[in-house]
């Protein structure tokens, strides 16, 4: 009996010693405190709202106006007619966009029991987006004896892209063994580039101007890159796959406000194959919302 008791005590002591060692290793594996660096890759997506207008007027109709002679500088935005009104350019709308994002991240975690408090900073470069707006129209007209008949071709396009995006975000999480669930919110800073171009081409025979062939051309172009600051919110999960390595996924929403770009133009008018005569054209402006959702995966190395 004494021998059995000693044997059982020895086995129990060995088991407790082994359990303590395993527990210590487990505790060490799930300790999230300290610095980390990582890689992140994913995509940003969303529906961007846009507005398009003549500068200074707020008008969205870039068609012909009535009551003034054709190509009169009194209405300098584009060709005008005393006989008809043409299709308006798209003044507003929504366009879907998705862009690849990839970059680096780093931060520090403080763990107190199952609670985690952290601060993370990340920077990502973006690929080329697909959120372009493109519109075109070909329209015929006949103004009678004063303005003749002809064809007008109009086209406009604009696109927006995120060049880079940085975030600085506190994190608050809850740990469950190797699993970390967290929420986050903070500052977002990004560069947005808007590009736009447009054209109006018109050819017609005008008996009111002595007959013959008449041509008018207008071209616009503009771009602007601007750095915007806003906010970002979201959350995610992270899992420790080793002593110093963890993998995770997160979803974020960011909003950087709106960005604007102005397109300036040049125009010319030719009558009966003669020399070009300069024609002034009014600038226009586009405004694009800078926001979206981000879904990305990453791997972190903890120190």
Domain shared by 247 and 169, yes or no: yes
Which residue from 250, 251, 253 is spatially nearest to 232, judged by alpha carbons? 253
Domain shared by 20 and 101, yes or no: no
Q: How confident is the model at residue 116 (pLDDT cuts 50, 70, 90)?
A: very high
Domain shared by 103 and 203, yes or no: yes
Give the number of domains in the chain: 2
283 pLDDT higher than 60: yes
Q: What percent of the chain has pLDDT over 70?
A: 73
Rounded-to-integer distance, Cα 168 and Cα 191, Å: 15
Most confident of 81-90, 96-105, 109-118: 109-118
Domain shared by 37 and 95, yes or no: yes
Tokens at 201, concatenated? 């081409």
How do strand 179-205 and strand 149-176 relate by DSSP bridges? antiparallel
Domain shared by 255 and 164, yes or no: yes
Q: What is the mean pLDDT of the chain?
A: 78
pLDDT score for 41: 96
pLDDT score for 253: 96
CB 165 within 8 A of CB 189: yes
Domain shared by 100 and 26, yes or no: no
How do strand 245-271 and strand 115-126 relate by DSSP bridges? unpaired
Structural domain boundaries enclosing 8: 1-30
pTM of the predicted model as reported, rounded to 2 decimal places: 0.74
Query: What size, in residues, is the chain?
Result: 303
CB atoms within 10 A of CB 254: 24
Which residue from 89, 120, 26 is spatially nearest to 265, judged by alpha carbons? 89
129 pLDDT higher than 70: no
Domain shared by 25 and 40, yes or no: no
Buried b / exposed e across 47-64, counting CB within 10 Å, b at 16+?
Answer: ebebbbbbeeeeeebbbb
Rounded-to-integer distance, Cα 298 and Cα 103, Å: 10
Rounded-to-integer distance, Cα 101 and Cα 204, Å: 49
Domain shared by 132 and 214, yes or no: yes
Residues 6+ apart with CB under 8 A from 192: 160, 161, 162, 163, 225, 226, 228, 256, 259, 288, 290
Domain shared by 181 and 155, yes or no: yes
pLDDT in tens, 213-227: 778 788 889 999 999
pLDDT score for 72: 41
Domain shared by 116 and 223, yes or no: yes
Q: How confident is the model at residue 264 (pLDDT cuts 50, 70, 90)?
A: confident
β-partners of residue 166 are 123, 189
Domain shared by 2 and 66, yes or no: no
Q: How confident is the model at residue 28 (pLDDT cuts 50, 70, 90)?
A: low
pLDDT score for 57: 47
Domain shared by 1 and 130, yes or no: no
Mean pLDDT across 150-160? 84
Most confident of 48-62, 176-190, 270-284: 176-190
Helix/strand/coil percentages in the chain, nearest 5: 10, 65, 25
H or E segment and range at residue 92: strand 92-112
Mean pLDDT across 11-15? 38
146 pLDDT higher than 70: no
Return the minimum-mean-pLDDT range out of 4-18, 116-130, 250-264, 270-284: 4-18
Rounded-to-integer distance, Cα 263 and Cα 285, Å: 6
φ, ψ of residue 82 to 5 degrees: the values are -90, 15
């Amino acid at each position: 009996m004494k021998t059995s008791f000693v044997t059982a005590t020895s086995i129990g002591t060995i088991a407790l010693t082994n359990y303590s060692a395993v527990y210590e290793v487990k505790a060490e594996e799930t300790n999230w405190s300290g610095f980390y660096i990582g890689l992140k890759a994913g995509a940003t997506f969303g529906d961007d709202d846009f507005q398009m207008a003549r500068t200074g007027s707020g008008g969205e109709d870039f068609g012909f106006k009535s009551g003034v002679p054709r190509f009169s500088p009194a209405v300098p935005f584009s060709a005008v007619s005393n006989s008809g009104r043409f299709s308006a350019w798209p003044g507003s709308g929504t366009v879907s966009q998705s862009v690849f994002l990839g970059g680096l991240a780093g931060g520090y975690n403080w763990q107190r029991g199952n609670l985690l408090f952290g601060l993370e900073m990340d920077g990502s470069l973006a690929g080329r987006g697909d959120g372009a707006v493109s519109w075109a129209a070909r329209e015929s007209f006949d103004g009678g004896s004063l303005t003749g008949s002809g064809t007008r071709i109009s086209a406009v396009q604009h696109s927006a892209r995120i060049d880079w995006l940085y975030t600085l975000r506190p994190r608050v999480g809850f740990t469950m063994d190797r699993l970390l669930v967290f929420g986050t919110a903070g500052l977002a800073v990004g560069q947005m580039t808007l590009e736009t171009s447009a054209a109006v081409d018109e050819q017609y025979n005008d008996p009111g101007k002595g007959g013959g062939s008449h041509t008018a051309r207008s071209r616009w172009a503009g771009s602007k890159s601007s750095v915007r600051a806003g906010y970002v919110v979201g959350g995610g999960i992270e899992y420790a796959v080793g002593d110093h390595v963890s993998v995770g996924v997160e979803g974020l929403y960011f909003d950087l406000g709106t960005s604007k770009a102005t397109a300036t133009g040049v125009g010319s008018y030719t009558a009966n194959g003669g020399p070009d005569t300069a024609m002034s054209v009014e600038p226009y402006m586009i405004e694009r919302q800078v926001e979206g959702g981000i879904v990305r995966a990453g791997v972190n190395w903890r120190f």
